[in-house]
Amino acid sequence: MNFLFKGFIARYWSFFCTLLILIAIFIVLLDIAGYRYGAQRLARSYSLSLGTLMLLPLLYTAVLSMLNSLARRRGMLTPATAPGEEAAAENKVEVQIQRFARIVFILVAVILLTNYWGIDTQAFKTLDELNLYRSRAAGDVVEFVTVVYSTL
């Protein structure tokens, strides 16, 4: 996940800062307008999401370094090269460790974020009944495109 902070997030940092501030202002305006429950729910989910997205990269780097040091102790990885020498090519085991850790942390992030924001199956059923438009497939068969189908 370190690649996210060096590339994508660094390039669009000002956009993300502006977006986060606007979301916080929107939540405060909802509370002022009288939508206290909605504002509290959004603020809770927003805060938990930000905390998770700040802590997970830190945990990722700590766990990754711990897994690499364990693999070195077991002799699966070669020790780092001495200063002044060129860095050795990445070992296959190290790449596998990084892929495994990345997948686990992405899954943990997705599970936590869906838990914070909640998945409402009834909302999906309702959106699946809303027809956006219809199209003809083959012949006289009419196919309805729903909101859920268009987002997939």
Q: Where are the alpha helices (DSSP H) in 74-120?
A: 92-117
Looking at the whole model, is its pTM more than 0.85? no
Please say whether the beta carbons of 121 and 128 come within 8 A: no
Please say whether the beta carbons of 52 and 106 come within 8 A: no
pLDDT at residue 77, as a whole number: 55
| 23-32, 85-94, 96-105, range with the lowest pLDDT | 85-94
Higher-confidence position of 29 and 144? 29
CA distance 78 to 76: 7
pLDDT at residue 87, as a whole number: 43
Domain ranges for the chain: 2-119, 120-152
Higher-confidence position of 43 and 83? 43
What are the pLDDT digits (tens) for 10-50? 788 888 889 889 999 999 999 999 999 989 998 999 999 99
Per the rule left: phi > 0, alpha: psi between -120 and 50, beta: everything else, 118 is left
pLDDT class of 70 with cuts at 50, 70, 90: confident
What tokens were used for 69? 């040091």
Distances, alpha carbon 109 to alpha carbons 24, 48, 50, 129, 136, in Å: 21, 11, 11, 30, 40
User: Does the pLDDT at position 62 exceed 70?
Assistant: yes
- 14 burial (CB, 10 Å; 0-12 / 13-18 / 19+) is exposed
